[in-house]
Structure formats: structure tokens, C-alpha cells
Amino acid sequence: MSTEQTTAADGFSYTLTRTLDAPAAQVWRAWTTPEQYAQWAYCAPGSVEMDVRAGGAWKATVVTPDGGEFPMTGSYADVAENRHLVIAMDVPGKPEPEKMTMELSPQDEARTRITVHQTCDTTEARDMAEQGTTMLLDSLTAFLSR
């Protein structure tokens, strides 16, 4: 069973933390393997590409519940296998990508705490990003419990 803790939004930032019933290496593979990521991250089949290394690129097409498709691109700003990932997301009209940090902390051999943090430009952007990340963590939790 997973637990969830949401740290109150501070300015335009949010932090979400959960404890997942999976070892860190399994969580890492779910987040960094295109085939696994596509299964839980609301992506169109075959749309996920990942070069998981600092400076490596990624892309995916996210499918919304109403069937809309949104291509997303970015790169990895920092990578420490099984521990830390800084994901840079390209945003149309913005000169710099938005960055999201994902940290994995093993709790024991079978459980991992995941912490996701992001700072946005506005309250609205933060709220939308936090809602999207909450949905992702819900789906990741279900994926890992199979």
C-alpha cells in the first residue's frame, strides 16, 4: 500500500511525496524505460523515446481522458541512476524549459519514497502541474502494484 503526503504549495512550487511498495530500481525502470513509462503515464503507444543521461532528449505524446493528444519534448538535466532525475520540459513560447525533480529514497528492500518537486511561473501553472503530477503518481502506484 502506498501513502501520500502533499507538501503545501509555496509560491509557485509544489512537492509531492509518496511511499511506493517497490524497490528503487523497479521505480526507476518504470520512470526511465519507454515501454514501461508508456503503460502508466497516459502516453500514446509507440510515442515515448528516452535517452536517459544528462543532456539526453525525451519525447512522448500524452493522451487526455477526452482523447486529446499533446506532444511533449525535453531533456534530462541531471541523472543519478535509481536515485535522482531532473527532467527539463520544453514549453512553447518559453525561452527556458521547466524543470521537474524526481528523487528516490529507499525505505527498505521493498519500499521507496518518491519525491517530485517543480517550480512554475504562475499559480495557475503550478496548480495544473501539481494536478498532472498527482495523476501520474496515482497511475505509477497502480502500475507498480500489479
DSSP secondary structure letters along 54-80? TT-EEEEEEE-TTS-EEEEEEEEEEEE
Among 66, 57, 59, which Cα is nearest to 43's?
Answer: 59
pLDDT confidence band for 1 (50 / 70 / 90):
very low
Count of structural domains, the chain: 1
Q: Rounded to an integer, what distance in angstroms lies between the CA atom of residue 16 and that of residue 126?
A: 12
Range of the domain at 106: 3-144
What is the number of other CB atoms lying within 10 angstroms of the CB of residue 16? 19
What's this model's pTM, rounded to 2 decimal places?
0.91
pLDDT digits (tens, 9 = 90+) for 56-85: 999 999 998 899 999 999 999 999 999 999
Say which CATH number the domain at 70 has: 3.30.530.20
Q: Which residue has the higher pLDDT, 146 or 114?
A: 114
Residue type, 70: F
Under 8 Å CB-to-CB from 90, ≥6 apart: which residues?
72, 73, 74, 97
pLDDT digits (tens, 9 = 90+) for 18-41: 999 999 999 999 999 999 999 999
Contact 123, 14 (CB under 8 A): no
Angle between helices 123-144 and 24-32 (to 10 degrees): 120
Helix (H) or strand (E) holding 117: strand 112-119
